[in-house]
Each structure stands twice: as structure tokens, then as C-alpha cells.
Structure 1
Amino acid sequence: MSETILQEPRPERRPKLADRVVAELRQQLIAGTLAPGQKLPTESRLTQTYGVSRTVVREAIAALAADGLVEPRQGAGVFVVEQPASAFSLISAEVGNKISHALNVLEVRMGIEIESAALAAQRRNSAQEARIYEAYADFDRQLGARQATGKSDFAIHRAIAAATNNPFYVEVLDALGGRTIPCDVASPWGTESVLTVDYQVGLQREHWKIIKAISAGDGQAARDAMRAHLTASQQRYRERLAGFDPATITTASRPRGS
């Protein structure tokens, strides 16, 4: 009887394997490696690629289909849907490039990234921590070259989300895409034409406080630093919405944060 009880948890391995396959295929869909309308590899190929059984592959495909990301077609295979129906995928379609929408994005980010910073401090591994530092260094290089820093800014936040080891934090940021750093995508609010070098240096100081707290494993400090960063960003966007020109705001009068 006791041996039977000990063996009961074994079937749990199958959904865990399916979850891993789902996560990897979902990342390919988000990254565009698997494009809309493209046919997925055959069931046989997927079993070889991921080292799992056909049953696991079928469970993974069923989960993706339930999320509206892929569509099995009888006798033809499984295809990436042209317009994904998942809630996360719809975020990008609904959010425009107005400054008021930038404030909406920041509000969503506060609900997600404050806690993700704390989780990153508690859960990150050395490779994930290194990727956060690499993204920070890329921002510095772009700033020194007077290039737009939006992509590296996004990379910092994405690396922090990845360090939570919860793939849904990354999925939300990927769904928002470039809108995660709205000042870098919405004309005439682009970094190149509006934001000063001094302004971006301030952003990087805020990033550094977050990263230092994560590196120290201090979840509360990371949470506080991310909150300060995003709150300051909200304030700056409200000033722009009210008609302020950020170029006229002195370093001393600028709110601390990003």
C-alpha cells in the first residue's frame, strides 16, 4: 500500500513537461521565430526537439490552441494563427502611441514590475543577474554614442522580469513590446528629439538602484527602487501631457527616477 502511495505523484511529470514545451513554443511565437500563418514542425519533429513523448506534444499543442495562438487543421497540421486571440496579444493592438496611453502603460507596469523586481532579487541566478548587467552596460554604450536607448532600457526591464523565473512576467512585457518604454516610440516624444542626455543619465541612475538591490538579494529595496523609478516616470509624462517641455526642466527640479 505504501509503495503504491509513493508512486502516485509520478504522473505529474507529464504536465510539467508539457508546460515546458508550451513555454518554449510561446516564446518563439512572441519573438516571431514562428510567424503568423506558419506551420509548426510535425509532431514527430517536436518530440525529437524537446525530448518528450507524443502525448506531451499533444498536450502542449492543445494548451496553445486553447490560448488562441495556434490552430490545428485536420490533415494539414498545426498553424500559427494570423491574429492571436490571447488577452496578452490583444494588448499591443489596443494601446496606441498617444502620451495618455503611455500613462496607461506605466500604470500597468507598476502593477507588474514592482513585484517582479522583488522576485528577481529573491530568485535570480548568476546568469540572469549577468544579463541584467549586460543590458545596463548596453544602455551606457548607446547613451555615450548619442543613440536612442529605448531598446536597451526595455532589455533591462525584460531581464529583470526573466530573473523572476515566472514566464508570465516576461510575456506581459513582450506583449507590450516597444510600448513598455513609451517615450522611445511615440512621436513627437522620441528619445532622439525630446529627451536630453541628462534626462537619460537620470534614468540610468534609477536603473542602477534597482539593479544594486536585486544583486544584494534585497527584495524590499528592489521593490521600492522600482516603484520610485516608475512613479517618477508617471510624473514626467503627466508634465508632458500638461504641456511642459522636459528640455526646460533643470536637473535639480526633475523628480528623481525614470
Structure 2
Amino acid sequence: MSMNDDTLAPVRRPKLADRLVEEIRTRISSGDLKPGSRLPTEQQLTEEHRVSRTVVREAVTRLAADGLVTARQGAGVFVNDRPEALLGSLLADMTGKVSMVLNVLEVRMAIEIEAAALAAQRRTASQEADIRVAFSAFDKQLSRGEPTGAADFDFHRAIAAATSNPFYVEILDVLGRRTIPRDLVTTVSASLLQSSDYQQRLQAEHRDIMNAIIDGDATSARDAMRRHLSASQRRYQSLLHGGDLARSAARA
């Protein structure tokens, strides 16, 4: 049986260039970078985002391919005069992405709710420490205003590993970046998915899950994971059916 490599191949954490592209797109869509304005210089971007020049150049090349920016020899890189139409096409694509997210969440609920209960029953001291480390990394990234998707994935993966059943980890690795999808759908929804309030709510839900696992309370761990994933479903359903997505469409 043939397999679609794009669908089934393991997708790891987002590349640095992916993150930089999404951050600049978000600044354009929000109006922070206005049509005709110049992007920060290559040196400024490398220092601000702590990435290499190669990463910056890849990000700019992709933004130019999307028609959002134009490089002018000797002058810099500028936001195109009419990015709205291009952002509108990205918005249409966003609907499909949010639908994909809801499908992934449905699979995750079937897997991760029970994984949390097993982690509470089986975790070793080392595995418990890994969960704590991932939780703390999320806090640090949030306080620095950095994307938290990688730490979020590490948190859920550490819980899967604490089941001591390698297939739970394998499933999350196959889902890869799609496991924690907010970086995929933030071009027109940053006000919801990347806001500090939103991520603090996520972290409060993570804390409930972690504490139940540390306490060895399988029932509470199961319930906390169910609440967390169910809340994520409601957030993305709102995004799809009229919330932030609709407001972004109206602005475009």
C-alpha cells in the first residue's frame, strides 16, 4: 500500500526559518509592518531573533515567493504595496489548516487522555523530571516572548514517554509539528493563538496535568488532559466558525 509521504512522514519541530516567516507575516497582517515599509536589516533580524544569516535569507526568500515582500538592490527588503490580497488567500488556506488541526485534536484525545493516566501510574523519577523541564521551558519562553510551540510539544512528548510504551511517543513523533499546531495557523490569528493570556491559560492546564501525574493520580491526570484537549477543540472551533478568523477576514 502506498503512503503519502507528506501526510505520514515524521514532521519534527518547526525550523527556525518557519518561525521567522510566521513572525514577519504576523507583523504584516497586523499592520505593524505597513505596505512600503522596510523590514529590519539582515543584521538586525539575526540579532533580534538569535538566528543565523542563512535562516534570515531563507525566510526572506520565502516571503518574497509569497509576494509579501520585495528585495531592492542596495536599499533593503520592503513590504509590498498591496499585501492584503495575498493575505486573503492565506486566510482561505487557514480554514483548511484549522480543519486539519481539529482532526489532529480528535486523534490526540483518543491517545493522550489515556497516556496521561498511564504516566501517572508508571512514570519514573527521570521521566517526571523531563515533564518538569518541559513545563519550565514553556514558562521561560513565554516570559521572553518567544514561540512556545517547541516546549509545548516537549511537554506532551515527555508525558507520552512516561507511559513507558514507545508507541505513544511514536504516534506523537509522526504527528510532529501538527501536534502543537498554533504556529501553523497564526498568520491571521496571532491575537488569539499567540497572546500571552491564551498561552497562560494553556500553561495553567499543563500545570493541572503535571501535578496529577506527579501525585500519581491517574483519574485526575486523565480528566485534566481531557479538559485541556477539549478546551483546545473549542478554541479552534471558535477560530473556524467565526471567532478571530472572521474578524481577520473582515479586516482584510
Answer yes or no: is the 8 Å Cα contact 1:148–1:192 preserved in 2.
no
C-alpha displacement of 1:219: 0.3
Determine the C-alpha separation between the residues in 1 that align with 2:242 and 2:105: 19
Which residues in structure 2 correspond to 1:34-183 (within 5 Å)? 89=8, 98-183=97-182
Match of 1:240, as an amino acid?
A: L
Determine the C-alpha separation between the residues in 1 that align with 2:126 and 2:4: 33
Answer yes or no: is the 8 Å Cα contact 2:193–2:199 preserved in 1.
no
Per-residue CA shift, 1:141-182, capped at 9, x if unaligned? 000000110010000000000000000000000000010011
Determine the C-alpha separation between the residues in 2 that align with 1:161 and 1:187: 26
CA separation of 1:220 and 1:236: change in aligned 2, threshold 3 A? same
Q: How many equivalent pairs are there?
A: 162
Q: State TM-score, norm by structure 1.
A: 0.58
- Residue 239 of structure 1 corresponds to which residue in structure 2? 238
Question: Cα RMSD (Å) of the superposition?
Answer: 2.7
Determine the C-alpha separation between the residues in 1 that align with 2:141 and 2:170: 26
- Residue 205 of structure 2 corresponds to which residue in structure 1? 206
Answer yes or no: is the 8 Å Cα contact 1:184–1:191 preserved in 2.
no
Match of 1:201, as an amino acid?
A: Q
Per-residue CA shift, 1:193-223, capped at 9, x if unaligned? 8421011000000000000000000000000
List gaps (5 residues or longer) in structure 1: 1-67, 69-82, 249-258
Determine the C-alpha separation between the residues in 1 that align with 2:131 and 2:181: 20
Q: State the identity %.
A: 53
- Residue 219 of structure 2 corresponds to which residue in structure 1? 220
Match of 1:160, as an amino acid?
A: I
Determine the C-alpha separation between the residues in 2 that align with 1:193 and 1:228: 19
Match of 2:133, as an amino acid?
A: E
CA separation of 1:194 and 1:128: change in aligned 2, threshold 3 A? closer
C-alpha displacement of 1:190: 6.7
C-alpha displacement of 1:188: 2.2
Higher relative contact order (CA 8 A, sep 6+): 2
C-alpha displacement of 1:245: 1.8
Answer yes or no: is the 8 Å Cα contact 2:186–2:194 preserved in 1.
no
Higher helix share: 2
Match of 1:89, as an amino acid?
A: L
Determine the C-alpha separation between the residues in 2 that align with 1:90 and 1:221: 33
Q: Which has the larger radius of gyration?
A: 1
Match of 1:142, as an amino acid?
A: Q
List gaps (5 residues or longer) in structure 2: 12-93, 248-252
Determine the C-alpha separation between the residues in 1 that align with 2:193 and 2:234: 16
Q: State TM-score, norm by structure 2.
A: 0.59
Determine the C-alpha separation between the residues in 1 that align with 2:238 and 2:178: 19
Per-residue CA shift, 1:25-69, capped at 9, x if unaligned? xxxxxxxxxxxxxxxxxxxxxxxxxxxxxxxxxxxxxxxxxxx9x
Determine the C-alpha separation between the residues in 1 that align with 2:113 and 2:107: 10
